[in-house]
Amino acid sequence: MRGLTGRAGDGPEPSGARGTFQAVSTAVAGLAALALLVSACGTGGTGARDEGPADASSVAGTTAAPSPSPSPSDTPRPVDAVRLVKDDPKVSATVKRGLKPCVADEYPVDVSYGKLTGNSADDIVINVLTCGDAVGLGAYVYRERGDRYENVFAAEEPPVYAEIDRGDLVVTKQVYERGDPVSNPSGEDVITYRWSGSRFAKAFSTRNEYSKAVGGGTAAPSEPEPEPAN
């Protein structure tokens, strides 16, 4: 063959015409390849997906992190403090008689929950007060044991009040001297107890004395001593 010809007997094809034909052929082949690539992408072949963003679990072979399971509530299990005290054989009859509702069914009890004995469940501190002047009649600590609560501390020398302070049991006892009104004690003893494994042991104590001048009052002047007889 002498090469590509247009018509039989016309002679060799000019070089310019041959170059133009080759350029057109190359362009047509490129368009065909591009069409095949677009077709593969749109039909879910080996091209990019068009269904939306990829699942995070399929990226680079990783798995999606599981959502954290909800932690148990830290809210302590509520208790009937009045019933707990009244049913406790360690509570004196005097305190039980004084534990009466002040208004309707509202009883004078203060209840606190916290960690005192190293137990997994919160311990319960209950203060029994008087209705009129809120004098502490008794202070108790209850520790959960199985399905019940055990009395592990009791203070029944009024006025007394117990509270939780950074893992310690702090008991405050008002100190009265003769003639002191209930609303104005002479001082207080603050006693700190710590759990020793089976009971509360006294760690240290502090005595605070109140000024009689607080509240506008002043100490009464002492009587002058009588002159000696001549």
pLDDT digits (tens, 9 = 90+) for 102-148: 998 899 999 999 999 999 999 999 999 999 889 999 999 999 999 89
∠183-185-191 over CA atoms, to 5°? 120
- Residue 33 located in a structural domain: no
pLDDT tens column, 177-224: 888 887 788 999 999 999 999 999 999 999 999 987 765 444 444 444
- Residue 24 located in a structural domain: no
Residue 100 Cα distances to 4, 109, 110, 131, angstroms: 120, 10, 14, 8
- Residue 194 located in a structural domain: yes
Predicted pLDDT of residue 10: 45
136 exposed, middle or buried (CB, 10 Å; 0-12, 13-18, 19+)? Answer: buried
**Single-letter residue type at 137:** L
Q: What percent of the chain has pLDDT over 90?
A: 49
- Residue 103 located in a structural domain: yes
Choose among 209, 221, 206: nearest CA to 176.
Answer: 209
- Residue 217 located in a structural domain: no
Structural domain including 97 reads 90-209
- Mean pLDDT lowest among 61-65, 100-104, 169-173: 61-65
Number of domains in the chain: 1
- Residue 156 located in a structural domain: yes
- Residue 170 located in a structural domain: yes
**E-only strand ranges, the chain:** 109-114, 123-129, 136-145, 148-155, 160-165, 168-175, 187-195, 200-209
- Residue 73 located in a structural domain: no
